[in-house]
Amino acid sequence: MSDLPEDLRYTEEHEWVRRLEPTRVRVGITDYAQSQLGDVVFVQLPGADADAAAGEGIAEIESTKSVSDIYAPFAGKVVAVNELLDAEPETVNADPYGDGWLFELEVEDAATLDAALGKLLDAAGYQGVIGG
Which whole number is the average pLDDT over 39-50? 96
Residue 30 lies in a domain: yes
Question: Is 131 inside any structural domain?
Answer: no
pTM of the model: 0.95
Give a three-class secondary structure readout of the chain: CCCCCCCCEECCCCEEEEEEECCEEEEEECHHHHHHHCCEEEEECCCCCCEECCCCEEEEEEECCCEEEEECCCCEEEEEECCHHHHCCCHHHHCCCCCCCCEEEECCCHHHHHHHHHCCECHHHHHHHHCC
74 in a domain, yes or no?
A: yes
* 3 domain-assigned: no
Domains: count for the chain: 1
pLDDT (tens digit, 9 = 90+) per residue, 79-102?
Answer: 999 999 999 999 999 999 999 999
Q: Is residue 24 part of a domain?
A: yes
Domain residues for 88?
A: 9-126
- What is residue 3's predicted lDDT score, i.e. its pLDDT? 79
Mean pLDDT of 49-71: 96
